[in-house]
Structure 1
Amino acid sequence: METKAPPRIFSRERRKAGYRRALVRQSQRDAARYVLDDMVEDVLDRLEFMRFEPARVLVVGDWTGTLALSLRGRGSVVDEENVRTLDEEKPLGDGPYDLIVSLASLGRVNDLPGALLHLRSALNEGGMLIASLIGAGSLANLRRAMIAAEPDRPAARMHPLVDNAAASALMQRALFKRQVVDSRSLEVAYKSLDRLVSDLRDQALTSSLSSGAPPLGKAALQRARDAFLASANDKGRTVESFEILTLTGWKD
């Protein structure tokens, strides 16, 4: 029976271009990095709580270098991969690892079940995967603003996002044991839609859909700005929520 290829929702080239742009922005000014900082801190807290001390680790997607530095300080040998060079939908060349950490990366691959299988295959027996990604429910005000910008025929401008139930099913499908999927909210206040978009560009979190939408026209952009600020609090700021899913599983 012929196996169908997964639908091509995301573009690796657009994803890599966004990553390159983020690195330039990070080097030129005091750029936003709070999403990745939150993910890194969470991973370190989990490892400390579990008292898990991996000998060999693969870190994917941490362009800050903070996680690798911290793990090396704890005695781990760490390999680092970034989303410009690593294709999660293909087998990993190195390994096996005692721990693989993926940050803000797996939510934008076309074959997520296949990517999870490849990550599991790269683990030692008794090894663990921790994968953090932006989950469903994130950026609700931005989504409303995009619909308001083009009320008649809104273009696809934002990613489909994985929810808790789907992530749990995918971890089971990839044969992880003792798998756990949990979520938490990271709330950030913005004075304008433009500031939010700038922060997303800083952190390589903008769209990498395979079918890129055309730029918003002047009138549509103003509608989006007005709709975003319609939810502003008494300080004139709109609070957005990043729902961060963390997938944890073991290879037993």
Structure 2
Amino acid sequence: MEPRPDIFDRARRARYRDRMIAGFADHDFLHRAMLDELLDRLADVQRDLPEVLLIGCPDGSARAALEAMGKRVACADPGFLAAKAARDSGGAGVQADEDALPFADDSFDLIIACGTLDSVNDLPGALILMRRVLRPDGLMLAAFAGAGSLPRLKAALLAAEGDRPGQHVHPQVDVRSAGDLLSRAGFAMPVADGEVLNIRYGDIVRLMHDLRGMGAGNALATRSPALTRDVLMRAAGHFADAADPDGRTAEQMALIYLSGWKPDPSQAAPARRGSATVSLAAALKGKE
């Protein structure tokens, strides 16, 4: 069987990650929102989990927060410059795609993947690899933009291109599919949920500038022709038509959060089917 062709161009994805590094602080709001939520969830975990793999490290904020919690952090990023920055600051940094992680099995107690899994070529394979490099009873936490993101931008581009629209926004995973992938990857106690982050823009150019600044450009392996100036002008008009009375258009990012544990015999297991000592009928009868 021939390997499936890549959905995303790995080299272009890495270049976009490198390109965003210098000005990332001006466009980091989405990363900060996801990271804050992941750290809040980690704070509720009553375990030490000292050895951490951080996937997605466009700046030093996540690493610093984890090290402040007493953890030892290794960074992996699809981009070269982010990995280099981690090494230059005295840490461990590796350039790697999530579906090709270069780590041995049972290497980490915790994996945090912040903001990159929406553009990995093989998401099921990436989740399987993440489970493998976790130690037994290790935890994986992830966040990324999913289905339902950028509806105004998509609608404006679709209307502007007319009968022959191109694909300019990445395909996106919904919460239910993400939860199914966690289970199929072999995680115990898998949880997938989401939230919507609302953002308001005065024009479509600013939105596109933010996407570029956070490394979210079109990295599809098979890309539609570049948007012409006329198409962009029409898209800007459609985007503006959806504005609120104050002239700003409400856009949204649908964020997906995942968590799962590497199976371990010490974990609580669901009761074996048929092991109940009281029938459902008897239980219901007792409530009449």
SS in 2 for 1:89: helix
Structure 2 counterpart of 1:5: 3
What letter matches 1:105 in structure 2? T
Residue 242 (1) aligns with residue 253 (2):
yes
What letter matches 2:239 in structure 1? F
Larger Rg: 2
What letter matches 1:193 in structure 2? I
SS in 2 for 1:130: strand
CA distance in structure 2 between the aligned counterparts of 1:185 and 1:52, rounded to whole angstroms: 29
Q: How does 1:18-167 map to 2 (within 5 A)?
A: 18-26=16-24, 31-84=26-79, 85-94=95-104, 96-167=107-178
CA deviations on 1:215-247 (whole Å, 9 max, x unpaired) are: 222221111001111111111001111110011
Q: Is the 8 A contact 1:31 1:202 kept in 2?
A: yes
Residues paired across the two proteins, number: 247
For residue 52 of structure 1, report the CA deviation from its aligned partner. 3.7
Structure 1 counterpart of 2:227: 216
The farther-off stretch of 7-16 and 129-138 is 7-16
Structure 2 counterpart of 1:182: 193
CA deviations on 1:15-67 (whole Å, 9 max, x unpaired) are: 111111111333xxx61110000111011100112234311000011212211
Q: Is the 8 A contact 2:38 2:142 kept in 1?
A: no
SS in 1 for 2:250: strand
TM-score (norm 1): 0.94
TM-score (norm 2): 0.82
CA distance in structure 2 between the aligned counterparts of 1:186 and 1:6, rounded to whole angstroms: 33
For residue 91 of structure 1, report the CA deviation from its aligned partner. 4.1
CA deviations on 1:189-212 (whole Å, 9 max, x unpaired) are: 000000000011111112110122
Pairwise CA RMSD: 1.4
- Percent identical among aligned pairs is 34
Q: Is the 8 A contact 2:77 2:97 kept in 1?
A: no
CA distance in structure 2 between the aligned counterparts of 1:91 and 1:186, rounded to whole angstroms: 30
Residue segments in structure 1 that go unaligned for 5+ positions in a row = none
CA deviations on 1:173-196 (whole Å, 9 max, x unpaired) are: 100010000001111100000000
Pick aligned residue for 1:206 from 200, 214, 217: 217
For residue 90 of structure 1, report the CA deviation from its aligned partner. 1.9
SS in 2 for 1:50: coil
What letter matches 2:233 in structure 1? Q
CA distance in structure 2 between the aligned counterparts of 1:209 and 1:110, rounded to whole angstroms: 10
CA distance in structure 2 between the aligned counterparts of 1:65 and 1:238, rounded to whole angstroms: 32
CA distance in structure 2 between the aligned counterparts of 1:91 and 1:49, rounded to whole angstroms: 27
For residue 145 of structure 1, report the CA deviation from its aligned partner. 1.0
Q: 1:6 to 1:246 in 2, by over 3 A?
A: farther
Q: Is the 8 A contact 1:36 1:62 kept in 2?
A: no
Moved over 3 A (4+): none
Q: Is the 8 A contact 1:92 1:119 kept in 2?
A: no
The farther-off stretch of 59-68 and 235-244 is 59-68
Structure 1 counterpart of 2:241: 230
SS in 2 for 1:187: strand
